[in-house]
């Protein structure tokens, strides 16, 4: 038994599966997009870091050159006072707050320094002297500069001639230009990677569309089979799909063989029962007694029931046949010619409105049995008029797709039926008028066959005052 935690986890999993489309193309695009995004982000960080280090190294090299130039310009007088040689004229250090600064400080203790010389650009302010500066290597760091600026500085300890204490020379420059250059590179890199990511995504979409196109060809081939326009999957399919196509063709062939065996067995059963029933009927007719009448009545009932269930079994098999289509107008016209001859004494006027483009997605004999029973009932009970029409009636399904359906409507001007009688007449074997020939199975057979094809039968009053029978059946696409 699952606990509440397991139940919540299952519900969360179901919600996630409902949100994520169940699509192979979506999975491929999402996988490629996720991997590309990760690769581009990591590559972007790597390139940004590399560019930043390169820019800073170049900038530090420039500061080192300036640091060495300042060291070369420092002079110690005879009184051991420090000064800058007059001929040293680095303009960047002459303008106040120019962004370029140097500072020479004497290390008088472990915790403090004494300012000795500074560039004119500092304008009386002081640079940070890093702790731990060594004479063998430069200290490189960011710090606060004059006039609330941010600077990049390098520092190194030097020992000047005639000086007891060591000195630390700091050279600094405003980091704004460096930050601006790095920011501009990051912006350009971001747009370039976005364009690259978009191009990769478009390439993946094109690749998926081309790569999955054989699946659409398989779908179209199956559609042609289902509509009766082909018997097998035909086409030049990739080697990866060839085993699938072969299995599908074998399945179609196997389905046809199973249906054919079912038809044969139904026919054999009909012939096997026909002889015993004929013998019983003959024996009943040979004698004139209550028993013989009972035998004849029950034999006829058995024959009707056997015919009904054999017909239903055959229809159930036919409904599973793939790729069968029947011309509705052709079937209706053939049945009308036959029924007009049978009921020629009634001189029935027939109004027929059948769209020649409508085709039944099923066996011809099933459609003949459906329309034949309905038309025979209309001719039998009509006074003078019978109307038959067929129209398309596409309806949506729950999955958002649709089924192509058509409706056959047969109307007559007979006595019609009450609502209660309409319910009763749909039951198997029900006859409302025993004086009229028949077994009472007509509309029941129509209902059974239509249901096997996922269709429907409904009864209403016709515009002529009689009965209107509407049969909904699947239509084959053009």
User: What's the pLDDT at 397?
Assistant: 41
User: What's the pLDDT at 103?
Assistant: 92
The tens digit of pLDDT for each residue in 154-171 reads 999 998 887 888 899 999
pLDDT averaged over every residue in the chain: 80
More confidently predicted of 164 and 226 = 164
User: What's the pLDDT at 53?
Assistant: 93
The tens digit of pLDDT for each residue in 277-315 reads 777 777 677 777 777 777 777 777 777 666 666 665 555
The tens digit of pLDDT for each residue in 189-199 reads 999 999 998 88
Q: Are the C-beta atoms of residues 29 and 205 closer than 8 Å to each other? A: yes
Site of tokens 């053009």: 478
- Residue 264 pLDDT exceeds 60: yes
More confidently predicted of 56 and 295 = 56
Measured between its terminal Cα atoms, the distance across the chain in Å is 53
pTM here?
0.51
Kind plus residue range of the DSSP H or E element containing 370:
helix 364-381
- Residue 431 pLDDT exceeds 60: no
Q: Are the C-beta atoms of residues 80 and 167 closer than 8 Å to each other? A: no
Q: What percent of the chain has pLDDT over 70?
A: 79
User: What's the pLDDT at 432?
Assistant: 46
User: What's the pLDDT at 274?
Assistant: 66
Confidence of residue 420 (pLDDT cuts 50, 70, 90): confident
- Tell me the two tokens of residue 92: 């960047």
347-359 b/e (C-beta count within 10 Å ≥ 16 → b): ebebeeebeeebb
User: What's the pLDDT at 153?
Assistant: 93
**Region 254-281 average pLDDT:** 71
User: What's the pLDDT at 440?
Assistant: 43
Q: How far is CA 427 from the centre of its chain?
A: 44
Query: What span, in angstroms and rounded, lies between the C-alpha atoms of 58 and 252?
Result: 74
For 52, residues 6+ apart whose C-beta sits below 8 A from its C-beta are: 182
- Residue 322 pLDDT exceeds 60: no
User: What's the pLDDT at 54?
Assistant: 94
More confidently predicted of 248 and 183 = 183
User: What's the pLDDT at 106?
Assistant: 85
User: What's the pLDDT at 379?
Assistant: 92
């Amino acid at each position: 038994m699952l606990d509440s935690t397991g139940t919540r986890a299952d519900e969360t999993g179901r919600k996630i599966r409902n949100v994520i489309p169940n699509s192979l193309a979506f999975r491929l695009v999402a996988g490629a997009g996720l991997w590309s995004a990760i690769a581009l982000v990591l590559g972007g960080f790597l390139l940004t870091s590399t560019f930043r280090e390169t820019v800073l190294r170049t900038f530090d090299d420039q500061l080192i050159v300036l640091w060495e130039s300042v060291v070369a310009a420092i002079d110690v007088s005879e009184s051991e006072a420090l000064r800058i040689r007059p001929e040293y004229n680095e303009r960047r250090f002459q303008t106040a707050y120019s962004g370029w600064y140097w500072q020479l400080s004497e290390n008088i203790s472990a915790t403090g320094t004494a300012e000795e010389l500074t560039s004119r650009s500092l304008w009386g302010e002081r640079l940070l002297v890093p702790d731990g500066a060594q004479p063998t290597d430069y200290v490189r760091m960011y710090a606060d500069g004059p006039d609330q600026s941010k600077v990049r500085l390098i520092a190194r300890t030097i020992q000047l001639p005639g000086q007891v204490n060591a000195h630390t020379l700091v050279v600094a420059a405003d980091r704004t230009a460096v930050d601006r250059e790095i920011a501009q590179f990051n912006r350009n890199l971001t747009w370039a990677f976005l364009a690259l990511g978009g191009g990769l995504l478009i390439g993946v979409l094109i690749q998926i569309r081309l790569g999955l196109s054989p699946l659409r060809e398989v779908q179209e081939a199956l559609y042609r089979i289902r509509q009766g326009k082909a018997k097998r999957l035909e086409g030049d399919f990739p080697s990866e799909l060839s085993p699938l196509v072969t299995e599908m063709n074998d399945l179609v062939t196997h389905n046809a063989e199973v249906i054919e065996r079912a038809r044969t067995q139904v026919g054999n059963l009909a012939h096997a029962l026909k002889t015993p029933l004929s013998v019983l009927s003959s024996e009943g007719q040979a004698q004139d007694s209550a028993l013989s009448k009972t035998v004849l009545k029950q034999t006829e009932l058995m024959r009707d029931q056997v015919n009904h269930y054999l017909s239903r079994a055959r229809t159930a098999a036919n409904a599973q046949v793939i790729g069968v289509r029947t011309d509705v107008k052709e079937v209706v016209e053939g049945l009308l010619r036959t029924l007009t001859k049978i009921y020629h004494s009634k001189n029935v006027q027939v109004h027929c409105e059948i769209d020649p483009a409508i085709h039944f997605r099923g066996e011809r004999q099933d459609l003949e049995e459906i329309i034949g029973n309905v038309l025979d009932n209309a001719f039998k009970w009509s006074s003078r008029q019978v109307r038959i029409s067929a129209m398309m009636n596409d309806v949506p399904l729950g999955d958002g797709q649709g089924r192509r359906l058509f409706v056959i409507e047969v109307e007559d001007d007979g006595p019609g039926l009450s609502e209660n009688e309409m319910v009763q007449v749909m039951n198997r074997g029900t006859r409302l008028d025993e004086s009229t020939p028949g077994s009472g199975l007509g509309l029941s057979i129509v209902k059974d066959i239509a249901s096997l094809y996922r269709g429907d039968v409904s009864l209403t009053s016709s515009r002529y005052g009689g009965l209107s029978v509407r049969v909904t059946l699947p239509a084959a696409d053009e």
